[in-house]
Structure 1
């Protein structure tokens, strides 16, 4: 079989079975800035946190990333909400149907992870920063949630869009086991950069106060790790972090950070 005939035959086969290579799925460019909108860009326009509307606003602003939080209901539906309770209902012990009885202030139902990923995939500029929230039920249930989340990201062809973060080191390690090469950062602030590097993490994502002591910035670059700081809302802290050449800043005030970046050019 000639090379040209082989190529045509394989292309037809891949089309028939619905195959998608990583190159086909991967967007060509992401926004080049340090801005990650915390729970989406919600504050300035009074949008519900972690809503599809706040995600779309972060995309409209041109943020590098939009952070969001994932929990699992008692009937194993993955939903997007910051707190373990949704409008007074404990997510871990409520069914998805029960959560649908209440609505966000803009009329949205609580987003499912599937709906959030599908909305985020409509564009190719803003990353989806998926935080896996450990529950107080059990460590095994946390890992079950993690497996379902990673499987959904993969099934929807969203791996190029999604970076992962968690306060649970075990959850981060589970993501890396399920998806080698995934970008995973740890949130809790109690692990050294050397430990993160050895475990395969992409970087540290710590409260900005952690970086006030120690040589985090020089060491992270030497190790090839990224640093993200949360949750930074005032100009003084933003400027200090930018002076250190930090890679990312998570903020409730993405508009303020963008204005500050303009003045620093």
Structure 2
């Protein structure tokens, strides 16, 4: 370094209070600021049965602020937290209610679903875990001071599910300014469902699950704030194309990708510039990207 360069650096250091960020340090600081947000998929579902209160608590135990869940409507119009549109994989519905094939969520009342064991399939220690209602789930997330990425599941099966979801969110205090601004995102694979949520509550942050063609992104930006694609469908160029557009609330569209469960893939998608990573293993992804 020449004397002139050294003097210039000294002057800059004085102006910045003695702190000089060289290019490499600047890059590291930038990387630190932009570490992807980690979302615990169906709760910390690698460690507890998915979409149960135990999975919410497992995420909390790992220090994960954001949890993701799925909501569906029962036969009597109660919102329950369940991923599959039938009850077979994650409950004992076939044993408790033989002859009720295909054991679709929409064909059972909330009281019937409340009888089911939603934990034994995952492990004996979770025997007796129940399928939570959305109300129960929200209260646990609130108790843990966590945040929620809520997916409206298969909206084509459940007419009016958007209105009912917003009603429960409102009753539980999740549509006040603090929650809407900092703690809630509503997403769906159904573009019309996302549009409906945006129309009914324009203040709520929304996400579209999928990978629209770049040419189609402007039409999605009119009603959503996030484009949330499968990790195998994106690259850095796609993420950059999304970020060039402003979403429904006038801010750059964000990208939360799913479902990334190993450190190498997490580092790869973080390199693409994604804003968030949805994962069953939130601790692994967090440690690989921070």
Q: Into which bin does the TM-score normalised by the smaller protein fall?
A: 0.7 to 0.9
Is 1:34 the equivalent of 2:56?
A: no
Structure 1 counterpart of 2:153, from 117, 127, 133: 133
What is the total number of aligned residue pairs between the two structures?
222
2:207 equivalent to 1:185: yes
Distance 2:36 2:83 in 1: 24
Does residue 93 (structure 1) correspond to residue 107 (structure 2)? The answer is yes
Give the root-mean-square deviation of aligned CA atoms.
1.8
CA spacing shift, 1:136–1:202, aligned 2, 3 Å? closer
Q: Residues 165-199 of structure 1, C-alpha deviation per residue, up to 9 Å, x if partnerless?
A: 10111110111111112111111323532122122
| TM-score normalized with structure 1 length | 0.78
CA contact 1:92–1:135 (8 Å) conserved in 2 = no
CA distance in 2, matches of 1:147, 1:71: 12
Structure 1 distance, partners of 2:85, 2:162, is: 16
Give the match for residue 84 of structure 1. Answer: 85
| 1:215 and 2:215 correspond | no
Instruction: Tell me if the contact between 1:238 and 1:257 (Cα under 8 Å) persists in the aligned partners.
Output: yes
1:189-230 CA-to-partner distances (Å, cap 9, x unmatched) read 23532122122x011001012213x72222222221000111
Q: Which digits, 9 at most, give the CA deviation of each residue in 1:34-88, with x for residues without a partner?
A: 2111110031x3x111001101221222224110000101100100011111224
- Give the match for residue 72 of structure 1: 73
Secondary structure (helix, strand or coil) at the match of 1:176 reads: helix
- Residue pair 1:127, 1:162 contacting (<8 A) in 2 also: yes
**Which residue of structure 2 aligns with residue 260 of structure 1?**
288
Mapping 1:45-194, distance limit 5 Å: 45=47, 47-86=48-87, 87=91, 88=93, 89-105=103-119, 106=126, 107-124=128-145, 126-134=146-154, 137=157, 141-142=158-159, 144-159=160-175, 160=179, 161-190=183-212, 192-194=216-218
* Contact 2:74 2:106 (C-alpha < 8 Å) held by counterparts: yes
CA distance, structure 1, for counterparts of residue 165 and residue 156 of structure 2: 18
Give the gaps of 5 or more residues in structure 2: 1-34, 94-102, 120-125, 246-251
- Among 268, 272, 286, which residue is 1:240 paired with? 268
Matches of 2:222 and 2:112, distance apart in 1: 42
Q: Please, which runs of 5 or more residues in structure 1 have no aligned partner?
A: 1-31
Relative distance call for 1:174 and 1:52 in structure 2 (3 A) is same
> Quick one: distance in 1 between partners of 2:49 and 2:240?
38
